[in-house]
Amino acid sequence: MSRIARRRTEEEGADTLFRLRATTKPAGSSGNAWEEVARGEIATSIGHDLDPHCELAVLAEDLDAAYRAVAGRLEHNDAVRIETIDGHDRPVLTPLDRLDEPPSLLALRAAVDDLLPRVDLPDVLLEVAGWTGFLTEFTPRLRRRRPRRGPRRQHLRGPDR
């Protein structure tokens, strides 16, 4: 399956997953049975097998093919050489030559920079927190412990007070 076809299949599977999550569990059905049916439908819709060994075998085969293709081209690539460092073979890549930036790139960079608002990182985090509510997932460390009282405050004020 080509990458484009695989992506299209995965997008269709994501639509199926969304529809399955949007539907409510049928009345009177047990949770595990419904989840197994949904899992099977989702896996089938995106072209995957429920058996992880089959999925891992396909991935291992793809990885092995890619590794062999790279290894086959390695001896003809002048930008890569293998050196032995501390008794281990390590790939060494030849750095690329620096290219001058054309004036059009500099102008584009300046135009984009002018369009971007000047904000601080905390402002961005607060804005995103307003959209997503992600800050509710964090618990401040101090909330877990009982606050200290007494001697610690004296140490923070210093010895002369």
Burial of 80 (0-12, 13-18, 19+ CB in 10 A): middle
The pLDDT value given to residue 115: 94
Helix axes 31-45, 3-22, angle to 10 degrees: 160
Q: 3-state class of 92 per DSSP?
A: strand
Please tell me the predicted confidence (pLDDT) of residue 113: 93
List Cα–Cα distances, 91 to 82, 84, 96, 115, 119, in angstroms: 5, 9, 15, 42, 42
Tell me what percent of the residues of the chain surpass a pLDDT of 90: 30
- Tell me which residues of the chain have a pLDDT lower than 70: 1-34, 141-161
Taking a C-beta distance cutoff of 8 angstroms, is the pair 55, 48 a contact? yes
Q: What is the pLDDT of residue 82?
A: 87
Q: pLDDT at position 64, please?
A: 97
Using CA atoms, how far apart are residues 145 and 154, in angstroms rounded to an integer? 20
What is the per-residue burial (b if ≥16 Cβ within 10 Å, else e) of 2-38? eeeeeeeeeeebeebeeebeeeeeeeeeeeeeeeeeb
